[in-house]
Amino acid sequence: MKAKREALKSLFTAMKDGKVDEDIIELLLLINSIKGIYTTSSCSGRIDIIEEPALGAKPLSRWLVKVHRPIEFEEAKEALKDAKNGLIFLKSQPPIFHVVAEDIERAKKLHEIGLTSGFKYTTFKVISNRYLVEINATEYLTAPLGKDGKVLVSDDYLRFAIEVGNSMLKRSKGRLPRLGENFRKLREEVGEDGLFYELVRDFEIEKNWRIP
């Protein structure tokens, strides 16, 4: 699978460059070790404060802070000092995995794994003869905080929004162990991929990470 080879090269390079969320690396390695599937862009879940020049203008947005763990109140307050132009939002987003399957049967299995693991927004679609499954959850929060560098909410509101966002992030991340167990069962069912272990050796991944 040429596409999987290229995807694995990109993943392993990003891991070495510190560009992959540490708390899902082991899970990503597990998924990619399964025959007939591989991951593309994925995230372990995050909280951020973002500045958007206009609604829907995401490509032009600027992060004031972005973390893949619960955020502290003082951390958020400090980040807000850097706000300048546009709408300011606090956002909490759950883990999301994009997994490509080589056939419709594996895509159906991935879809089922996402749903049974508690990721209720899991969907799949066909893109250029590929079956892309998006494993996604429901815990999304977007709270407006201000505009054009001015924070328009009280500290009490900010604390409340952070508390809710942190709670949602913890809840969604809490499903990751169950997701991992279901992928282990899938690997037992469909088998391991020799290409994965070949590239693990080539990139010497085992020196810094545990191989599933």
pLDDT at res. 56 = 73
CB count within 10 Å of CB 150 equals 10
CA 9 to chain centre: 19
For the chain, give every domain's residue range: 2-207
CA distance 157 to 66: 20
Residue-by-residue DSSP string for 54-103: STT-GGG-EEEEEESSPPPHHHHHHHHTT--SSEEEEEEE--EEEEEESS
Place of tokens 């508690």: 118
What local confidence, expressed as pLDDT, does residue 150 receive? 97
Residues of the chain with pLDDT under 70: 57
The angle, 0 to 180 degrees and rounded to 10, between the axes of the packed helices 176-190 and 25-32 is: 20
pLDDT of 112 reads: 97
Give 17: exposed, middle or buried? Use CB within 10 Å, 0-12, 13-18, 19+: exposed
H helix count then E strand count, the chain? 7, 9
In this prediction, residue 130 carries a pLDDT of 86
Give the domain 2-207 fold: SSo0622-like fold (3.30.1960)
Q: What per-residue confidence (pLDDT) applies to 54?
A: 81
pLDDT for 127 equals 81
Residue 80: C-alpha distances to residues 15, 69, 83 (Å):
30, 18, 5
Taking the model in full, what pTM does it have? Answer: 0.93
Nearest CA to 37 among 132, 178, 112?
Answer: 132
188: buried, middle or exposed (CB in 10 Å: 19+, 13-18, 0-12)?
exposed
What is the per-residue pLDDT for 129? Answer: 79
CA 97 to mean position of chain CA atoms: 6
How do residues 95-137 score in pLDDT, each as one tens digit?
999 999 999 999 999 999 999 999 999 998 888 778 999 999 9
Task: Count the neighbouring beta carbons within 10 Å of the beta carbon of residue 146.
Answer: 17
